[in-house]
Structure 1
Amino acid sequence: MRFVRFKTPDGHPALGARVGDEVVNLTELGLPGTLDELLRHGAAGMASAKAALEKATTRLPLSSVQLMAPLHHPHKAFAIGLNYIDHAHEGNFTPPTQPVLFHRYPTSWVPHGVAIERPKASVEFDYEGEIVAIIGKGGKYISKENALDHVAGYSLFNDGSIRDFQFRSSQWMWGKNFDRSGGFGPEFITADELPPGVVGLDIVTRLNGQVMQKANTRDMIFDVATLVAACSEGMELHPGDMIITGTPAGVGFARKPPVFMKAGDVCEVEVEGMGILSNPVIDEA
């Protein structure tokens, strides 16, 4: 299934199932109002969503609703650095032998279609197209062999980065968490609709229609199962936790000359079988 979180035409938030260019309002049919809550119900929650979808008699045009970020407020959003070899090389980093983790906070992203903001403090606003793995079943010390059983599904992310702040120290958190600097969405896709671990999917980032990043998820240094297992070693994972899995080569700061996002640009992240996350760019007010 493909879930969207949205505002109805009268402004009420709801959880929906996308079917083509239409949306079934699952919340109106008695299901939770957020994906976060639905995931906490586990397999029973997904079964109830499928049953509601089959019985639904009315649908809304997708064009009539305002999309929100797929998750309301995840406990944790891990982000993974340097997870494609070519990206590590273009930044003059040694490819890591263990996953490089940092954190993103919900205030740092906006939904599909909403503008991401270049902050007043910098002109080095970079793009990073990525896939998000979303946890459905929690746990700690999860084995790599069982890790994909804990992944409920996937979404898309633009890990917008303020490069001069990011590289002020060896800790990247600051440059990765400016308000409204990243994009998340447009929808949550259950794992059964995609290849296991999303292996073998083409990932492309475009800036104003020009291809800037182009790779395949098989080029990840650490696959999704490895990342789930690694994140669970130090923290118990909960339903709705996010793992933003890393970006391929082609980022703006590594180009000669560098290419950074500016007001009036449109950045798109597209992954085979997962759709397109699109965000215009504006300057911070």
Structure 2
Amino acid sequence: MRLATIRLPDGGTSAARVDRDRVRVLPWPDLGRLLADPNWRQLALVGETLPGEEEPQYAPLVPHPNKIVCLGLNYASHIAEMGRPTPQYPTLFAKYDGALIGAHDPVVLPAVSDAVDWEAELGVVIGAPARHVPPDHALDVVAGYTVVNDVTVRDWQHRTREFLSGKTFEATTPVGPVLVTPDELPPGASGLAITCTVDGVVMQHSTTADLLFSVARIVSYVSTIITLKPGDLIATGTPGGVGAGRSPEIWLRPGSELVTTIEGIGQLHNRCVREERPALAPASSTTR
């Protein structure tokens, strides 16, 4: 089953089931609200066919997750290109929902940086509350898998030892287009080809079998720290091939076409645009 959050003509959003030849609108405002119901699998079988034959307008998959947990340094190839030691434990950081955009929305390049990078990643969406889940049961709480590009503002990331400031700029993180339930994929979504191209040039090409920490280990580890909730998003890390790891370094530019693909799940296609700097208010004058 493939589920999504789509934009409606009236400006609202709706959860949807994306079948091979049609899209069915579900009676929930977004996928996160659907996943909050313990019976979401059965409830997702209902729905009314979306009129028209055009591809739906995808909103961020879960627009407002309770948590967005991300991993750094989770592929050996990326660890090597960044010159980091292999971590003993998952390297975790967070994002806020203001960073999330839909599968075909523009990536906004911050006006304060010229060092914006790409990071193709497998996304995991939680489907049931989970706390202290052992690894051998961790996949039971996964609702499904999606595609993420953890677009990163490198100079801001490296201002401090913590990653957050470079990872959660407004409107930089495409997620979607759909959630694919685990029954359609290998266990833990392992062994899927993952690719990122920029302006038609392949920059990253790997497989999710190369994750240092598997989906099961990640979910178990995070659930030991905090309760995972339905709709929570986990981005599992990126393989080698990022712009910062090249010589010379390569960065996204206004007009760059960023395409992120994971076998069996789907594709993000995002054009990069420069953030418009807000106009400065004129200085007030005081008459004496």
Cα drift, residue 6 of structure 1:
1.2
Structure 1 residue aligned with 2:151: 160
Query: How far apart, CA to CA, are the structure 2 residues paired with 1:109 and 1:284?
Result: 15
Amino acid at match of 1:120: A
Structure 2 residue aligned with 1:8: 8
Structure 1 residue aligned with 2:283: none
Bigger radius of gyration, 1 or 2?
Answer: 2
Cα drift, residue 21 of structure 1:
4.8
TM-score when normalising by structure 1 = 0.94
Structure 2 residue aligned with 1:241: 232
Amino acid at match of 1:259: I
2:261 to 245, 251, 270: 270
Q: Work out whether residues 38 and 46 of structure 1, in 8 Å CA contact, stay in contact via their aligned partners in 2.
A: no
Structure 2 residue aligned with 1:46: 41
Structure 2 residue aligned with 1:67: 58
Query: How far apart, CA to CA, are the structure 2 residues paired with 1:65 and 1:220?
Result: 32
Percent identity of paired positions between Structure 1 and Structure 2? 34
Cα drift, residue 184 of structure 1:
1.1
Cα drift, residue 169 of structure 1:
1.4
Q: Give the aligned CA root-mean-square deviation in angstroms.
A: 1.3
Cα drift, residue 241 of structure 1:
0.9
Q: Work out whether residues 21 and 61 of structure 1, in 8 Å CA contact, stay in contact via their aligned partners in 2.
A: no
Cα drift, residue 209 of structure 1:
1.0
Which region of structure 1 is more displaced relative to structure 2, 244-253 or 61-70?
A: 61-70
SS in 1 for 2:16: strand
Cα drift, residue 62 of structure 1:
5.6
User: What CA deviation, in whole Å up to 9, does each residue of 1:121-166 have, x standing for no partner?
Assistant: 1100000000110111112111001000010101111100000110
TM-score when normalising by structure 2 = 0.93
Query: How far apart, CA to CA, are the structure 1 residues paired with 2:116 and 2:21?
Result: 33
Q: Work out whether residues 75 and 239 of structure 2, in 8 Å CA contact, stay in contact via their aligned partners in 1.
A: yes
Cα drift, residue 9 of structure 1:
2.7
- Point out where structure 2 has 5 or more consecutive residues left out of the alignment: 277-288
Find out whether 1:91 has 2:82 as its counterpart: yes
Structure 1 residue aligned with 2:22: 22
Cα drift, residue 26 of structure 1:
1.6
User: What CA deviation, in whole Å up to 9, does each residue of 1:181-211 have, x standing for no partner?
Assistant: 2211111111211111001100000001110
Structure 1 residue aligned with 2:113: 122
Query: How far apart, CA to CA, are the structure 2 residues paired with 1:74 and 1:112?
Result: 16
> Which is helix-richer, 1 or 2?
1
SS in 1 for 2:175: strand
Cα drift, residue 266 of structure 1:
0.8
- Point out where structure 1 has 5 or more consecutive residues left out of the alignment: none
Q: Work out whether residues 119 and 149 of structure 2, in 8 Å CA contact, stay in contact via their aligned partners in 1.
A: yes
Amino acid at match of 2:155: D
User: CA distance change for structure 1 residues 15 and 163 in 2, over 3 Å: closer, same or farther?
Assistant: same
Query: How far apart, CA to CA, are the structure 2 residues paired with 1:185 and 1:252?
Result: 22
Q: Work out whether residues 24 and 60 of structure 1, in 8 Å CA contact, stay in contact via their aligned partners in 2.
A: no
